[in-house]
Amino acid sequence: MDLAGGPAPAGGRHPPHRRLHAAGAGRYRRRSRGDHRRVRAGRDAQLRQPHAQPDRLGHAHRAPPRPGRRAGPRPRPAQPRPAQRGAHAEPRLPGRRRRGRDHRRRRSAVRRPARRPRCPAGRVRGLGDHDRRVAMTVAAAERGPFPGVVRPFASRVVRQEWADRAVAPMVDALGHGERRAAAPVPASAYEQAPQAFYVYRMRRGATEHVGVVADVRLAAFAGGDVRGHEAVDRHRVEALVDYYADQPARSEPVALLHADRPGAARAVEVTRRGRPVLQFEGTDGLEHTLWRVTGEAQTAELARSLGDGVHYIADGHHRVAARLHAWERAGRPEEGGVLCVLFPMHGLTLSSFHRRVTGPVDVAPLLDAASGHFEVREVPEGGRPGGIGVYVAGRWYDLVPSGDRPDGMAGLDVSVLQSRLLGPALGIPGPGHPRLEVLPDHLPLDQPAARCDEDGGALFVLRPPTLHALTRIADLGEEMPPKTTYFAPKPYAGIFLT
């Protein structure tokens, strides 16, 4: 039988396209490009076909059992396949098989543990209590020769050509229109200054107030070395905390008072003989002059003299409360401080806040209630009251408290007025009531008196307490109602950025 599948033609040879490979049957013969089929020799033509692939029964790695053999384990039923991702950018999908290799599988979506809170300032994560105390001791040693309450500070100081635009009164001393008119100041308006104390003078005419600008540790406020005398409004403190978190750079100094310190006075006098680094006149006619303390002897004397004894807050109770709140929340870092101007008490005066109750106010019941606790006297036209002044229904009255006044906060005019007249007669529990307006003493009385004529309200003019009464209240640990006193003139904001 001819393996070529037919009788040989005359001549005994098949044409080239019918011949087998010279090596014999069983070799590969190319029938078409890329097609290799095996032809077995010694078989019929119907057997000379390619082998059929065995049925894998849908299983990728196991062939069906041969006849006569024990059947192996049956293949598992087909499972629904998860969704395949078409590219690496699609998250949370497993990889898919490709020719020759697999895509890299992404990690399974495992919920990560909650993120640890940010490490507070002044603390190093991972340190124990002992190591933290050692770190605080090292930090205290790095402070150098200023371990006390008062220390020099490094800041940016406003340039001379920008002083009249960047420096302004405190925000609470401005009216609403003046606050809106304040323009932003670029960062180039300030220049970096070395660590130092500063002598700050405010002068109007022949009256001047001179203080030392320094950084006062927050630990001194918390420990009682710096004492306050006025209660704070919780809502206002919370608003300041949020504001300071958004605007960490501070430019508003806190005013402190202290007893006379001869050593500090001598250092201030020596510093004032030099050339000032800043001198300008504000929009209200108040002249500001600033000297930098450069002498080592004067710096050491100021740190020693002002670091001992007790200081009292004259202005800035809400700002101090907000800074203390943030300092406590941060873990009481050692470097925490407040920019302050420290004034000696001699030659200073305190001013008071007046009260106005919006109308209508019945005059007769008000005067009847006042007569039970005060000596009521009508003030002639053009006169000024000597005690607690009341303006109602177009007339001025003078209220003089009867009997002896108690010691401490209860004996102040603001406390006597609140407990004997505003609360019982008018139903005003205190500052914050919608009918009560608090007015600073430097504003002319003609404006609130005109508003009383319009709405039928009443104006109460209070005398400021003495410095002795203020320090006495602070030493006793008592607190005046908010907006009772303030120091005038206040240090301006915008000279320093810390």
In this structure, are 231 and 332 located in the same domain? yes
Higher pLDDT, 63 or 306: 306
Q: Is residue 322 part of a domain?
A: yes
Q: Read off the pLDDT of each residue in 204-209 and give the average, rounded to a whole number.
A: 90
Residue type, 240: L
Q: What is the pLDDT of residue 406?
A: 79
* 324/243 same-domain check: yes
Q: In this predicted structure, what is the pLDDT of residue 351?
A: 87
Tell me the sheet residues that pair with 36: 30
In this predicted model, what pLDDT tens digit does every residue of 340-364 receive, in sequence order?
Answer: 999 998 878 788 899 999 999 999 9
The SS3 assignment for 231 reads coil
The whole-angstrom separation of Cα 277 and Cα 292 is 7
Mean local confidence (pLDDT), 469-494: 87
Kindly report the backbone phi and psi dihedral angles of residue 351, in degrees, each rounded to the nearest multiple of 5, phi listed first.
-115, 165
Percent residues over pLDDT 70 in the chain? 67
Q: Judge if 339 and 457 occupy the same domain.
A: no
Same-domain status, 344 and 203:
yes
Q: Has residue 420 been placed in a domain? A: yes
Q: Is residue 264 in a domain?
A: yes
Task: Tell me the per-residue pLDDT of 416-472, one tens digit each, with 9 for 90 and over.
Answer: 999 999 999 999 988 789 999 999 888 888 999 999 999 999 999 998 888 888 898
Q: Are residues 387 and 304 in the same domain?
A: no
Q: What is the pLDDT of residue 89?
A: 45
**Residue 149 burial (CB count, 10 A):** 23
Dihedral of the CA atoms 285, 386, 446, 351 (nearest 10)? 40
Contacts of 427 (CB under 8 A, 6+ apart): none
Position 126 confidence tier, pLDDT thresholds 50, 70, 90: very low
Q: Which of 127, 139, 120 is nearest to 330 (CA)?
A: 120
Of 257, 247, 272, 448, the C-alpha closest to 341 is 257
**Scanning the structure block, which residue is given the tokens 């002059």?**
289
What range does the domain containing 431 cover? 351-463
Is 471 inside a domain boundary?
no
Indicate if 344 and 360 belong to the same structural domain.
no
Tell me, yes or no, whether 296 and 419 share the same domain: no
Residue 105 is assigned to a structural domain of this protein? no
pLDDT at 75 over 80: no
CATH of the domain at 395: 3.30.1760
Residues 290 and 155 in one domain: yes
Is 151 in the same domain as 267? yes
CA distance 26 to 21: 9
Confidence at 48, pLDDT banded by 50, 70, 90: low
Same domain, 247 and 233: yes
> What digits encode the pLDDT tens for the residues 309-340?
899 998 899 999 999 999 999 999 988 899 99
**End-to-end CA, the chain:** 110
- Judge contact between 457 and 449, C-beta under 8 A: no
Specify the number of domains making up the chain: 2
Asked whether residue 226 is assigned to any structural domain, the reply reads yes
The pLDDT mean for the chain works out to 78
Contact (Cβ atoms closer than 8 angstroms) between residue 312 and residue 227: yes
Q: Is residue 422 part of a domain?
A: yes
User: 162: closest CA among 203, 190, 181?
Assistant: 190
By DSSP bridging, strand 226-227 and strand 311-315 are parallel
For residue 177, what pLDDT is reported?
Answer: 42
User: For residue 140, what are the contacts with CB-CB under 8 A and spacing of at least 6?
Assistant: 147, 334
Distance, C-alpha 282 to centroid of its chain: 30
* Per-residue confidence (pLDDT) for residue 396, from 0 to 100: 92
| H-helix or E-strand spanning residue 459 | strand 458-461
> What is the enclosing helix (H) or strand (E) of 240?
helix 234-246
> Is 269 found in the same domain as 159?
yes
Strands 395-401 and 388-392: antiparallel
What was the pLDDT predicted at 484? 85
Q: Give the containing element (helix H, strand E) for 181.
A: helix 176-181
Percent of the chain with pLDDT over 90: 41
Question: Which residue, chain included where needed, has tokens 């005003």?
Answer: 428
Considering only 28-37, 219-228, 486-495, which range has the smallest mean pLDDT?
28-37
Residue 140 has pLDDT above 80, yes or no: no
355 and 383 together in one domain? yes
pLDDT digits (tens, 9 = 90+) for 160-198: 999 988 998 876 544 434 444 455 788 899 999 999 999
Residue 11 lies in a domain: no
